[in-house]
Amino acid sequence: MKARSKCPLYHAALDACSEISSQQYWRVLRSLVLVLRYTYTSEDVTRMIEERRAKGAKGFNVAAERMRLSNLREYENGRGDAEAVARCAGMRLSPAAFDGTN
């Protein structure tokens, strides 16, 4: 079995960790420092928000939607409207419910 490497990027699960050069080490270290010190600018945040809006990504809380449908079913059942209860029973969880388009 190979002796443990003195490589700072050595991973215990990799017994065959190859040695890296000093130049490679410093290049990786500089990259990591840049990544860890990066600060988002307002342009970055604006761009990320616009990308999210363009995708139509919206949060979807399944538990809240289930509770909403359960409450709606109970309300319609209490009113005695069998047609509305049947319609509620056929409803599916969907993100559209949060848009008001459902």
Residue type, 31: S
pLDDT digits (tens, 9 = 90+) for 29-39: 999 999 999 88
Averaged over 89-97, what is the pLDDT? Answer: 58
Residue type, 44: D
How many angstroms separate the first and last alpha carbons of the chain? Answer: 64
Parse the chain into domains and list their residue ranges: 22-55, 62-94
Distance CA 79, CA 87 (A): 14
Distance CA 28, CA 30 (A): 5
pLDDT at res. 29: 93
Residue type, 19: E
Asked whether the beta carbons of 14 and 1 are under 8 A apart, the reply is no
pLDDT at res. 100: 46
Tell me the average pLDDT of the chain.
75
pTM, whole model, 2 decimals?
Answer: 0.32
CB atoms closer than 10 angstroms to residue 69: 16
Placement of tokens 């999210």 in the chain: 52
pLDDT digits (tens, 9 = 90+) for 37-86: 988 899 999 999 898 888 875 666 778 888 888 888 888 788 877 777 77
